[in-house]
Structure 1
């Protein structure tokens, strides 16, 4: 489990530097990969890094950093009040992240109108029905299979590995395309599982999450 977590975090930082296109974000992620520039505060998940000779506080939600003022890396804007956070809370820069679908554990739908992060181990068939109803039967839905990393343990991780061996067999013409029982595996059949889980950890994603790809906007289920 610990080895998996370190592997995922390494992917997070490598991916982040390419994905976040702004100059500030690129410099920031380059700097925090250098452990000489980054340290943790005692008894805290908060990190402090030195970027351009300026100390930056990295919160446990890596979307927000404090550099003199709170800064939203996703909308590339300073946060001066709660109104600024509320204004952009449903913004999700999926298109800016330049995610290569071939690297994600998904249902291989191209040119999708919506992306949906879904946990295949937590009532996925019920969630899938709710998503289809919410989107009024929209057919072009990219399902991205991930798990709630906050509740991830060894047992669930092995089941997720087992699920990665079944994704090519799922039939979404069925009413219940997801299998009820997944046989645990000690390792995944598809390495894309690391990329997808890494993205979920970095972006603090809790499935299910629906994104309107035309607007980069979260739709509440």
Structure 2
């Protein structure tokens, strides 16, 4: 499992370095850029630190300060160039699932209110103590949204029971699975089964660096790590209509 998660660590941001001028040394270029730069900011899920200079030029210092990259910063998930600290902070709060080149369909999931046009995606650990309340509240009150719950283990100790749950509920429909999660009615499972969808769920959450249950993605791609304090207000604000 550790190897799988390691291989799925995302190349979230790509740096493109412009050519140096013949009259400037590398040290001179970097010092000049940093002199007019913003305050250093740690990149999300990375040991690298970034500062933004004039015209959105980025200087990125890796965990080994010998290696510095100067040029343009791109968010490969949103497919945009990042030109400021404010824009970076805004992008870090987005998870554009429909734009990322990764399998988000063949996973261990279930859907509530399937006919609704706006989708809220909820990454959830079925064995987290808050899961019954999370599923109950969302399914009861967020009736104007299509709720897609993607099940995945968030801690190492939950991996084995998660795989067992996948075997036990291979053919369980969404309504029944929702009820089982709310009531914690987990039954005995077969000793072996096809674990493809469970492994896809685990791999997807690892790729996206999702480590807290629940993690919600609103219809406008806004990310909430943990249940929002006022979940219905948060959903209304981050619906596609509310974001316009």
- TM-score of the alignment, normalized to the shorter chain, above 0.5: yes
Q: Which residue is equivalent to 1:41?
A: none
Structure 2 residue 123 is the aligned partner of structure 1 residue 117: yes
User: Is this contact kept in 2: 1:105–1:193, CA < 8 A?
Assistant: yes
**TM superposition score normalised by structure 2:** 0.54
Is there any run of 5+ residues in structure 1 with no aligned partner, and where? Answer: 28-44, 48-55, 60-65
Structure 2 residue 82 is the aligned partner of structure 1 residue 78: yes
Structure 2 residue 109 is the aligned partner of structure 1 residue 106: yes
* Comparing 124-133 and 178-187, the one that deviates more: 178-187
Structure 2 residue 133 is the aligned partner of structure 1 residue 126: yes
Larger Rg: 2
Could you list the per-position Cα deviations for residues 35-60 of structure 1 after superposition, in whole angstroms to 9, with x for gaps in the alignment?
Answer: xxxxxxxxxx859xxxxxxxx7678x
User: Is this contact kept in 1: 2:121–2:147, CA < 8 A?
Assistant: yes
Structure 2 residue 94 is the aligned partner of structure 1 residue 91: yes
User: Is this contact kept in 2: 1:71–1:78, CA < 8 A?
Assistant: yes
Is there any run of 5+ residues in structure 2 with no aligned partner, and where? Answer: 17-45, 49-59, 232-244
Tell me the distance in 2 between the aligned counterparts of 1:195 and 1:166: 17
Q: Which residue is equivalent to 1:53?
A: none
* Comparing 159-168 and 84-93, the one that deviates more: 84-93
**TM superposition score normalised by structure 1:** 0.59
Q: Greater relative contact order (Cα 8 A, min sep 6): structure 1 or 2?
A: 1
User: Is this contact kept in 2: 1:8–1:194, CA < 8 A?
Assistant: no
Structure 2 counterpart SS, 1:172: helix
User: What is the CA-CA distance between 1:104 and the residue it aligns to?
Assistant: 1.5
Matching residue within 201, 205, 213 for 2:206: 201
User: What is the CA-CA distance between 1:132 and the residue it aligns to?
Assistant: 2.8
Could you list the per-position Cα deviations for residues 2-30 of structure 1 after superposition, in whole angstroms to 9, with x for gaps in the alignment?
Answer: xx2213444x26xx68xx8x9x59x9xxx
Q: Number of residues paired by the alignment? A: 173
User: What is the CA-CA distance between 1:142 and the residue it aligns to?
Assistant: 1.5
Tell me the distance in 2 between the aligned counterparts of 1:67 and 1:186: 51
Could you list the per-position Cα deviations for residues 82-133 of structure 1 after superposition, in whole angstroms to 9, with x for gaps in the alignment?
Answer: x233323331111102555542111267676221111111132211022235
Tell me the distance in 2 between the aligned counterparts of 1:92 and 1:127: 20
User: What is the CA-CA distance between 1:79 and the residue it aligns to?
Assistant: 5.5
User: What is the CA-CA distance between 1:73 and the residue it aligns to?
Assistant: 3.6
User: Is this contact kept in 1: 2:122–2:149, CA < 8 A?
Assistant: yes
Tell me the distance in 2 between the aligned counterparts of 1:57 and 1:134: 45
Aligned pair in 2 of structure 1 residues 195, 112: CA closer, same or farther (>3 Å)?
farther
User: What is the CA-CA distance between 1:67 and the residue it aligns to?
Assistant: 4.0
Q: Which residue is equivalent to 1:63?
A: none
Aligned pair in 2 of structure 1 residues 216, 174: CA closer, same or farther (>3 Å)?
closer
User: What is the CA-CA distance between 1:209 and the residue it aligns to?
Assistant: 1.8
